[in-house]
């Protein structure tokens, strides 16, 4: 664990021992209750931490996520299993859309098959097209990036299935969108 106390938010730091993008915080919400946001210890990404006051998945909000990898988390709220997930893929949105549709259908069917209850299973997809405009003489040349960037978010709440099952089903649903 890094020893120093940090002041965060927009404060400039030139200590040189870390990258500010690897900090948790700034304007993000954190309800772990283990610290004061104005005085925070800090960990590097690969650093082992046994402080016991948090888990690394919870922090590191700015952590870079790899394209094509489905990230999921599950938490318990009373009897509800709350699954949060995300996936970024590059490709043809129509195929991704069809895959996600299929994955969510299978998620719902699996919960029902296991005797569970679906609170809701929701996802959103944000599709980014990139076009480059350039001019060197008179005419503007427009080039379209060959693939679309698609950011998918999953939010599911289910009952009467285990946390592990709920998370696995969520992950599988997201992975269905990978073409």
Partner 1 sequence: MNVLIFGGFLGSGKTTALMQMARYIVETSVSDNPNKVMILENEIGEVGIDDAFLRGGGFRVDNLFAGCACCTVSGELVTAAIRIRKEYDPEWLIIETTGLAYPAKIQQNLKEAANIPSRIAVLIDASRWARLHIPMEGLFAGQIYGSDAVVINKVDLVEASVVDTVASDVREYDADTQIFRVSALDPVNAEVWKGVLGI
Q: Which residues are near partner 1 by CB under 8 A?
A: 29, 31, 73, 75, 77-78, 80, 82-86, 117-120, 122-124, 126, 153-157, 159-160
| Shorter beta-carbon distance to partner 1: residue 49 or 80 | 80
Q: How far is the CB of 104 from partner 1 (least distance, A)?
A: 12
The four Cα atoms 24, 28, 32, 35 give a dihedral, to 10 degrees, of 60
Which H/E stretch holds residue 169? helix 163-175
Q: Round to whole Å and give the CA distance between 25 and 144.
A: 36
| Shorter beta-carbon distance to partner 1: residue 68 or 119 | 119
| Shorter beta-carbon distance to partner 1: residue 144 or 162 | 162
| Shorter beta-carbon distance to partner 1: residue 3 or 79 | 79
Q: How far is the CB of 160 from partner 1 (least distance, A)?
A: 8
| Cβ neighbours for 121, distance < 8 A, ≥ 6 positions apart | 104, 107, 108, 111, 154, 156, 158, 173
Which H/E stretch holds residue 140? strand 140-144
| Shorter beta-carbon distance to partner 1: residue 53 or 142 | 53
Q: How far is the CB of 126 from partner 1 (least distance, A)?
A: 8
Q: How far is the CB of 142 from partner 1 (least distance, A)?
A: 27
In degrees and rounded to multiples of 5, residue 90 shows phi and psi of -115, 130
Q: How far is the CB of 124 from partner 1 (least distance, A)?
A: 5
Q: How far is the CB of 154 from partner 1 (least distance, A)?
A: 7
| Shorter beta-carbon distance to partner 1: residue 78 or 137 | 78
Q: Round to whole Å and give the CA distance between 130 and 5.
A: 41
Exposure of 130 by Cβ count < 10 A (0-12 exposed, 13-18 middle, 19+ buried)? exposed
Beta strands in 21-79 (DSSP E): 71-77
């Amino acid at each position: 664990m890094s020893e120093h106390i940090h002041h965060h938010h927009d404060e400039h730091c030139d200590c040189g021992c870390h990258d500010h993008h690897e900090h948790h915080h700034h304007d993000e919400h954190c309800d772990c209750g283990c610290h004061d946001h104005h005085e925070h210890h800090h960990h590097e990404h690969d650093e082992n931490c046994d402080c016991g006051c948090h888990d690394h998945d919870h922090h590191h909000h700015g952590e870079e996520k790899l394209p094509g990898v489905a990230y999921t988390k599950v938490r318990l709220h009373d009897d509800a299993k709350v699954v949060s997930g995300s996936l970024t893929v590059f490709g043809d949105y129509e195929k991704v859309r069809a895959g996600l549709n299929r994955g969510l259908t299978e998620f719902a069917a699996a919960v029902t098959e296991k005797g569970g209850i679906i609170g809701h299973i929701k996802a959103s997809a944000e599709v980014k097209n990139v076009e480059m405009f350039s001019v060197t003489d008179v005419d503007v040349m427009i080039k379209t990036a060959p693939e679309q960037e698609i950011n998918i978010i999953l939010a599911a709440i289910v009952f009467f299935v285990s946390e592990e099952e709920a998370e696995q089903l969520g992950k599988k649903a997201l992975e269905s969108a990978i073409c």
